[in-house]
Amino acid sequence: MRKTSDPDRRARRRWAVRAHATLLEQHGPQRWWPAEGRFEIMVGSVLAQNTAWRNVEKAVANLKAADMLHAEAIAQAEPEVLAQLIRPSGYFNVKARRLGSFCAWYARAGGYRKLRYWPTMRLRKALLGVHGVGPETADDILLYAFDRPVFVIDAYTRRIFARLGTIRGNEAYDELREVFEHQLARRSTVYAEFHALIVRHGNQVCRPTPRCEDCGLNAMCRFHRHQPV
């Protein structure tokens, strides 16, 4: 029996590439992140922590209506005022403080015009040093606001690929990030599109109780194969 050619074998091992192609076929291009400017993306990624996007939109709209969508304005705002504006996004007291500390850092660093020249990993460390910015929020900002080739790991990523059987799901954040980054072409456009597809698939198809009948990944899914008929 003939041995599989090396390129085929490599492609089969790179399940992230196959999943990306399949999800792109099923859902189409996502064109993320849904926001108007870079700073709005950064604000959104803080407010989106463990929160439905619908609620984030309301909070961002409130900030915009109050003409507060600027780092200086947010950094100088009274915590209570800020909290009321972002109330729909939940955890409003916590997030008011997080948004404040992020904007204070951002303004002090000179904003995008200065930060754009920072090396990616230096920028990542600086972001992680801001109170309230953890690995996922930092990587959202790096990928979608700074166009850096950093892959974002979120709860959807863990759930989908744990079900597929390609990861356990409880790996350390940076370990998973590097697995995905190594499997894909190191380009921010690829990472951005793939993560967007993962989010789309995670909240429409691979939900807590999965809708396997609507899923294009069944052929490569261990979870689906083990489902009773």
142 touching DNA, by CB under 7 A: no
Stretch that binds DNA, among 5-13, 71-79, 118-126, 154-162 (CB under 7 A): 154-162
Rounded CA-CA distance 224/226 in Å is 5
Nearer to DNA, 206 or 221 (CB): 206
User: Residue 1 corresponds to which tokens in the numbers above?
Assistant: 């029996």
Site string for DNA, 44-83 (x = CB under 7 A): xx--xxxxxxxx--x-------------------------
34 touching DNA, by CB under 7 A: yes
Nearer to DNA, 7 or 29 (CB): 29
One residue of 22, 75, 140, 142 binding DNA per CB under 7 A: 140
- Distance, C-alpha 165 to centroid of its chain: 21
User: Residue 110 corresponds to which tokens in the numbers above?
Assistant: 């000179």
Site string for DNA, 177-196 (x = CB under 7 A): --------------------
Angle of helix 155-164 relative to helix 173-183, nearest 10 degrees?
70
One residue of 20, 136, 145, 215 binding DNA per CB under 7 A: 136
CA distances from 136 to 45, 102, 144 (A): 9, 14, 12
Residue with tokens 């948004």, as numbered in its chain: 99
One residue of 137, 164, 179, 217 binding DNA per CB under 7 A: 137
- Phi then psi for 77, rounded to 5 degrees? -70, 150
User: C-alpha dihedral over 202, 99, 131, 196, to 10 degrees?
Assistant: 20
* CA nearest to 135, candidates 184, 175, 97: 175
100 touching DNA, by CB under 7 A: no
Nearest-approach distance from CB 194 to DNA, in angstroms: 13
Nearest-approach distance from CB 4 to DNA, in angstroms: 35
One residue of 33, 39, 191, 194 binding DNA per CB under 7 A: 33
DSSP string, 102-134: HHHHHHHTTHHHHHTTS-HHHHHHHHHTSTT--
Residues contributing to the site for DNA (CB under 7 A) = 32-34, 44-45, 48-55, 58, 87-88, 90-95, 131-138, 140, 144, 154-156, 170, 172, 199, 202-203, 207-208
